[in-house]
Amino acid sequence: MAPAITAAAAELLDACPVGEPFDLIAAFAAPLPLRVIGDLLGVPAADRARFRAWTSTLLASDQPATAVRDAVVGMHRYLVDLIAAKRADPADDLLSALVSARDDEDRLTEDELVSMAFLTLWAGYENLVNFIGNGMRALLVHDRPITSMPLAIEELTRYDQPLQFAIRRFPTTDVEIGGHVVPAGATVLLGIASANHDETVFDAPEELRLDRDPNPHLSYGHGPHRSFGSRLSQVEAAIAVGALLERGCALAVPAGELRWLPSFRNRGLVALPVVLS
Ligand code: HEM
């Protein structure tokens, strides 16, 4: 998918102003992953505008609960219809492959199919929006040279991980961890942010070291439920960051004025005003 991602990144940046401030999240960090995940799943181009409206509502921090519920219901209904369309007329995309895993191989229930489609769409979108925003913020604030793009992307993924917690776990038996018993059936939230900044694992964890190697961060989770989007994210983030640095990008406001989303689960910026040179 790299050539298509590169072309999409260039097209979005061509539409951005040069020499005057704009919000990088709205103009680039949000639309790029939406296009990529739309292509991957097989969301027809004509439906992308409706998607944009739902996802903007879900990303915004100041929407009333009813608007959020309407957006979730709208997206869910849309995906149910899209699954029906792929079932009738399969294409070379991920959603058709998931339908085939359900219908031909019986590896998913219908609920799991819809849930997987929703999760892929949403996880593949929201995390990358926040990752591109957080990563660019860290690079612009610290102004360090990149010697290896793959190592830099790993470090940016560790430093300001988009998800603060893994998916909830429920132990089936009592488990003893570090002298504490976690009882069977308890809800466990695993703190990725804490693990990524563990001073017994990382040397100077609060320092951004773009050549950190090895970098055993847990930003994509761990075990059988580790994010299946990790490879796509690394490729997409490297293309996005590379394209922005190539065009010359600077913060348009003092770093202290940037606002983080008021979220317990996600780490991401409300907006990232920048100037391209
Ligand atoms: C920087 C980008 C991303 C980050 C930081 C991220 C992070 C995560 C994390 C922490 C989990 C939970 C893992 C666990 O609890 O062990 C997860 C799950 C998941 N992610 Fe991602 N993700 C990213 C991008 C993506 C993309 C691009 C896709 C889709 C193409 C995706 C699809 C999924 C799915 C389907 C799951 C659920 C897996 C399961 O429950 O079996 N993610 N992700």
pTM, two decimals, is: 0.94
pLDDT score, position 165: 94
Distance 253 CA to ligand 1 centre (A): 31
| pLDDT level of residue 85 (50, 70, 90 thresholds) | very high
| Pairing verdict, β 175-177 and 180-182 | antiparallel
Cα–Cα distance measured from residue 223 to residue 221, given in angstroms and rounded to the nearest whole number: 7
For the CA atoms of 17, 32, 29, 165, the dihedral, rounded to the nearest 10 degrees, stands at: 180
CB of 233 within 6 A of ligand 1: the answer is yes
Structure confidence by residue, pLDDT tens digits, 149-189 = 999 999 999 999 999 999 899 999 999 998 999 999 999 99
Closest Cα to atom 38 of ligand 1: 225
Structure confidence by residue, pLDDT tens digits, 189-245 = 999 999 999 999 999 999 999 999 999 999 999 998 899 999 999 999 999 999 999
pLDDT score, position 53: 85
CB of 196 within 6 A of ligand 1: the answer is no
CB of 228 within 6 A of ligand 1: the answer is yes
CB of 188 within 6 A of ligand 1: the answer is no
Nearest Cα to Cα of residue 136 among 118, 119, 105, 160: 160
CB of 127 within 6 A of ligand 1: the answer is yes
**Residue 141 in contact with residue 45, Cβ under 8 Å?**
no
Q: What domains can be seen in the chain, in order of their start residue?
A: 2-276 (1.10.630.10)
Distance 168 CA to ligand 1 centre (A): 13
Distance 228 CA to ligand 1 centre (A): 6
Residue to substitute in 127, 132, 136 for testing ligand 1 pocket (most ligand atoms within 8 angstroms of CB): 127
Nearest Cα to Cα of residue 222 among 139, 165, 142, 149: 165
**Is the model more confident about 103 or about 155?**
155
CB of 227 within 6 A of ligand 1: the answer is yes
Closest Cα to atom 17 of ligand 1: 227
Cα–Cα distance measured from residue 244 to residue 83, given in angstroms and rounded to the nearest whole number: 35
| pLDDT level of residue 46 (50, 70, 90 thresholds) | confident
Q: Kindly report the number of other CB atoms within 10 A of residue 96's CB atom.
A: 18
